[in-house]
């Protein structure tokens, strides 16, 4: 069955994936008719799953009912602190059971949740808090220790709530456990309703930080509709795969997923968690990725699906003790966020007996725009899949208007109900990126005659290391700050499991000296560890540039060839 035929069947009037029209920011947009209206609605509906497990983290096992009780209690506490619609509540912590509780407590009362990258340094976290104007910060003990000295200089920040604090807290801070207790006790919290709030699908709900070639992180302003759209998008692509192979799509059933990518990414929060809740599925959190522990968890919890980035799949495949574990429950390994080798697609299917999956999206699209799975992925391992029925993708020429024919490489544009409103407090960047309901992605791509997307390169100057975006100019600016460096460039070099890694090329000032280790330490002191170049090459002359003064990075990558 063709993509067009499958979509027509699945989106027919009265079908689960029926489409509708809604005016979003003045633009008539195709939307999923049956998507939940808000995340508050989703949270309240999830109570129906009762004692079914929602989150597992080590010895903490949190049911849907317990999660709801904790979220309702924290929502009431936030209201008592003066948090109301539109106020920003920042969230900085590892993947812990407290993460979804805090997230839903905020969005359910109309606050704008600001999940911050837990890997950021104190200075980077300070930027996110300052830029968003967060009124309240919910943070784990590790991040609190990193940030505590910065709180007094944040004028908008009124309250800090610390989960799992390892030390006594100072003025203006409180323990999360004093408000809602520990995960072991959430099931015994009072059965209370959420505080009153009137929410609409296109109300502001989140700020997830991304970055561009300017280097300054930009907050993508997401709505409830953005997140609820992903539930139907994921279901649609699963059903489309069944129809494509000539089978009737089954009703969704609860599944167990091992969630190893951070919740502060839209992939985990939107594409992962929202669909899990809608289907009553279970999410297993790990404190930190470890392939051996992952194999143990897959066996013990009978995990059905995992993934996130290709690195995860590679490490599971190549683990020397893999044969010692019963991994028969694992039927799906899906990922995105980093380039993957066709060999990986084949090996997942042959060695695990699982179906591989990937997709394309970005922070500005709240994750899923295209998805790829099953036989389609095995047959087109270098594709990112076809768009979901509520989305459109186009490849346009340099003028940003001309739509290029199939097979032609140009800039990828996307539209649909998953596209964010714009960038927080950055009207010029918003106007340049979001045009009449479309987002210009900065990715260079082609679309084949059947509608499958193939990413060719990135026009935006970033390196994607195991799913983590590293914005070249940010690292380059740090290198330029070193007194010995007068020219610097960051490039991505291929890595079998991570996709790519950051590497730098520098030119030192006459008579100046600096070693590779010295420059790496200089970057490490100022940026998160994953942004530190794994290798640095030194050129005796300034870096090569084109007529416009742009460094010819493609030429420089050859310096790292084996």
d(CA 96, CA 115): 13
Per mean pLDDT, which range of 107-116, 298-307, 452-461 is the poorest?
452-461
Q: Does domain 39-199 have CATH number 3.40.50.980?
A: yes
Does the pLDDT at position 480 exceed 50? yes
Q: What is the mean pLDDT of residues 279-296?
A: 94
- Tell me, which fold does domain 3-34+219-458 have in CATH? Rossmann fold (3.40.50)
Q: What pLDDT is attached to residue 338?
A: 56
pLDDT for the residue numbered 52 = 98
pLDDT digits (tens, 9 = 90+) for 491-539: 999 898 888 999 999 999 888 899 999 999 999 999 999 999 999 999 9
Per the listing, tokens 């919290």 go with 189
DSSP output for 367-426? EEEEEEEHHHHHH-TT--BEE-TT-EEEEE-TTS-PBPPTT--EEEEEESTTS--EETT-
Checking if the pLDDT of 214 tops 60, the result is no
CA distances from 391 to 226, 229, 277, 368, 414 (A): 12, 10, 23, 9, 7
* Bridge pairing between strands 392-396 and 173-175: unpaired
The confidence score (pLDDT) of residue 252 equals 86
pLDDT at 455: 85
Give the model's confidence band at 217: pLDDT under 50 very low, under 70 low, under 90 confident, else very high.
confident
The better pLDDT of the pair 60, 359 is held by: 60
Q: What is the mean pLDDT of residues 322-349?
A: 83
Predicted confidence at residue 510, as pLDDT, reads 81
Secondary-structure class of domain 466-560 per CATH = alpha beta
pTM > 0.75: yes
**Distance separating alpha carbons of residues 215 and 20, to the nearest angstrom:** 38
Domains 3-34+219-458 and 466-560 share a fold: no
CA distance 508 to 534: 19
Contacts 24+ apart (CB under 8 A), 396-404: 396/440, 400/435, 400/440
Averaged confidence pLDDT in the chain: 92
Is residue 509 within 8 Å of 486, Cβ to Cβ?
Answer: yes
Q: In the chain, pLDDT over 90 holds for what percent of residues?
A: 73
Residue 215 pLDDT grade (very low, low, confident, very high; cuts 50, 70, 90): low
Beta bridge partners of 412: 395
* Domain range summary for the chain, segments of one domain joined by +: 3-34+219-458, 39-199, 466-560
Residue 216 has pLDDT above 50, yes or no: yes
Q: For 128-176, write each residue's pLDDT tens digit.
A: 999 999 999 999 999 999 999 999 999 999 999 999 998 899 889 999 9
pLDDT at 212: 47
Angle between helices 98-108 and 39-46 (to 10 degrees): 120
Q: Give the whole-number percent of the chain exceeding pLDDT 70.
A: 96
- Is 224 in contact with 37 (CB distance < 8 Å)? yes
Q: How many residues belong to the chain?
A: 562
| Lowest mean per-residue pLDDT among 149-163, 233-247, 286-300, 457-471 | 457-471
Residue 340: pLDDT band by 50, 70, 90 thresholds?
Answer: low
């Amino acid at each position: 069955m063709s993509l067009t035929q499958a979509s027509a069947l699945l989106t027919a009037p009265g079908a689960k994936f029926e489409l509708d029209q809604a005016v979003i920011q003045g633009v008539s947009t195709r939307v999923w008719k049956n998507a939940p209206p808000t995340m508050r609605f989703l949270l309240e509906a999830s109570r129906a799953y009762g004692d079914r497990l929602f989150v597992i983290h080590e010895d903490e096992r949190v049911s849907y009912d317990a999660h709801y009780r904790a979220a309702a209690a924290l929502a009431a506490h936030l209201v008592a602190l003066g948090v109301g619609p539109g106020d920003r509540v920042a969230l900085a912590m590892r993947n812990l059971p407290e993460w979804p509780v805090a997230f839903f407590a905020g969005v359910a009362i109309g606050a704008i949740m600001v999940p911050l990258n837990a890997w950021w340094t104190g200075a980077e976290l300070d930027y996110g808090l300052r830029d968003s104007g967060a009124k309240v910060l919910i943070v784990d003990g590790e991040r609190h220790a990193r940030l505590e000295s910065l709180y007094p200089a944040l004028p908008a920040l009124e309250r800090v709530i610390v989960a799992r604090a390892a030390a006594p807290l100072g003025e203006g801070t409180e323990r999360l456990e004093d408000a809602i207790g520990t995960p072991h006790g959430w099931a015994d919290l009072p059965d209370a309703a959420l505080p009153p709030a009137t929410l609409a699908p296109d109300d502001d709900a989140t700020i997830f930080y991304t970055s561009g070639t300017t280097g300054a992180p930009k907050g993508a302003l997401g709505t409830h509709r953005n997140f609820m759209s992903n539930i139907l998008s994921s279901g649609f692509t699963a059903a489309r795969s069944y129809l494509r192979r000539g089978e009737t799509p089954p009703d969704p059933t609860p599944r167990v997923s091992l969630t190893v990518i951070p919740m502060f990414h839209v992939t985990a929060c939107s594409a992962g968690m929202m669909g899990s809740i809608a289907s009553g599925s279970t999410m297993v959190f790990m404190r930190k990725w470890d392939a051996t522990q992952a194999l143990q968890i897959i066996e013990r919890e009978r995990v059905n699906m995992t993934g996130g980035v290709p690195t995860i799949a590679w490490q599971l495949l190549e683990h020397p003790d893999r044969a010692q574990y019963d991994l028969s429950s694992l039927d799906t390994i899906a990922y995105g966020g980093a380039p993957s080798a066709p060999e990986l697609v084949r090996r997942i299917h042959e060695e695990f007996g699982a179906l591989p999956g990937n997709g394309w999206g970005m922070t500005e699209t709240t994750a899923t725009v295209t998805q790829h799975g099953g036989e389609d992925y095995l047959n087109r391992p270098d594709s990112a899949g076809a768009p979901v029925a509520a989305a459109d993708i186009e490849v346009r020429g340099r003028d940003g208007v001309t739509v290029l024919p199939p097979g032609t490489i140009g800039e990828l544009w996307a539209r649909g109900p998953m596209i964010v409103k714009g960038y927080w407090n950055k009207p010029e960047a918003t106007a340049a990126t979001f045009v009449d309901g479309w987002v210009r992605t900065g990715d260079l791509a082609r679309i084949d005659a059947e509608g499958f997307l193939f990413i060719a390169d990135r026009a935006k100057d970033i390196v994607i290391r195991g799913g983590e975006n590293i914005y070249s100019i940010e690292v380059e600016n740090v290198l330029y700050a070193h007194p010995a460096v007068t020219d610097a460039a960051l490039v991505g070099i291929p890595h079998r499991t991570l996709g790519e890694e950051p590497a730098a090329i520098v030119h030192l000032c006459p008579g100046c000296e600096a070693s590779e280790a010295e420059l790496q330490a200089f970057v490490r002191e100022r940026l998160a560890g994953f942004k530190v170049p794994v290798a640095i090459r030194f050129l005796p002359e300034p870096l090569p540039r084109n007529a416009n003064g742009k460094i010819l990075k493609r030429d420089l990558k050859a310096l790292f060839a084996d």
